[in-house]
Structure 1
Amino acid sequence: MQNYTSSFDEVPSTSEKIKILNFSNNKNTKEFLFENEDATMGEILVYKLENHKNVLFCGYKKLHPLDNNIFLKIKTNSFTDPVLELEWAIKEIYVDLSYIQTNLEFSS
């Protein structure tokens, strides 16, 4: 098991797994394709984003239970961009998981 720190600069690169699908002319709405991820990732991202003050809507879908891709849609207010909010959520999740891992290692 790797040891991770909670530094934002050390978040592993995910750019190969995430594609931005632009189906809307609205700059505040974006859909993202996460390759080789399941519903767990979708639930975690939606949980982190749904209560953020700049996010108006966030949801994910999985086209088929055997498909290994999820689609995440984010709509933000005019003060921010969905890509920035997704980056924020990924960094926050990384920090949360690092904290949990550190506490589990400390308690054992």
Structure 2
Amino acid sequence: MNAPDRFELFVIPEGKRKVEMEEDTKIPNAATFKIEREDHTLANMLRMQLLKDPRVLFAGYKIPHPLEHNFVLKIQTAPDTTPENALGDAITELIQEIGQLKNKFEMDVIRQRAFEDAKASHGAGMDGDDMALDPHRAGLDVDF
């Protein structure tokens, strides 16, 4: 089979860098970033985060070829910042958002387990459907 080895999807080849930047000489405050060993998942998240920034005038990406494991991200900013700064800020904000999402998910899992434990321990005198509709009756202090 002609499929590439799976490690090629995430191991950066010798001599290549994870991120390479090239300034655009035709457009002011614009740069192109080539990011190795990533795909649409990260590219789209970065693009959307960049577009939330009012200093960013344009952000877009493309995958040069489906068998190449990289993407090209183009950023144009207002004169008061640089594409490098905008990308760095977007990465920092994404890390914070993902951390908040992780914490919320973990809290929801803990609440669900507590609800299921309370349902199991108090289930003798309660109708299971009533408890599913009202977690307060199951002895849980939850906010929805």
> TM-score normalised to the size of structure 1?
0.79
Q: Deviations over 1:2-48 (max 9, x none)?
A: xxxxxxxxxxxxxx521112342655111101100001111101111
What is the alpha-carbon root mean square deviation over aligned residues?
Answer: 1.5
Q: Deviations over 1:57-104 (max 9, x none)?
A: 110010111211001010011111110000000000000100111111
Which structure shows the higher helix fraction? 2
| Aligned: 1:80 with 2:81 | yes
Cα distance between partner residues in 2 of 1:64 and 1:26:
25
Cα distance between partner residues in 1 of 2:99 and 2:26:
37
Cα distance between partner residues in 2 of 1:39 and 1:25:
27
| Aligned: 1:105 with 2:96 | no
Q: Which has the higher contact order (CA 8 A, sep 6+)?
A: 1
Aligned residue identity for 1:47: M
- The residue that corresponds to 2:139 in the other structure is none
Cα distance between partner residues in 2 of 1:28 and 1:38:
25
**Conserved 8 A contact 1:17-1:36:** yes
Give the match's secondary structure for 1:70. strand
Note closer, same or farther for the CA distance 1:23–1:80 as it changes in structure 2 (3 Å cut): closer
- The residue that corresponds to 1:9 in the other structure is none
| Aligned: 1:96 with 2:107 | no
> TM-score normalised to the size of structure 2?
0.60
The number of residues matched between the two structures is 93
Q: Tell me which structure has the larger Cα radius of gyration.
A: 2
Give the match's secondary structure for 1:80. coil
Aligned residue identity for 1:46: R
Cα distance between partner residues in 2 of 1:19 and 1:52:
22
Aligned residue identity for 1:56: L
Give the match's secondary structure for 2:57. strand
Unaligned runs of 5+ in 1: 1-15
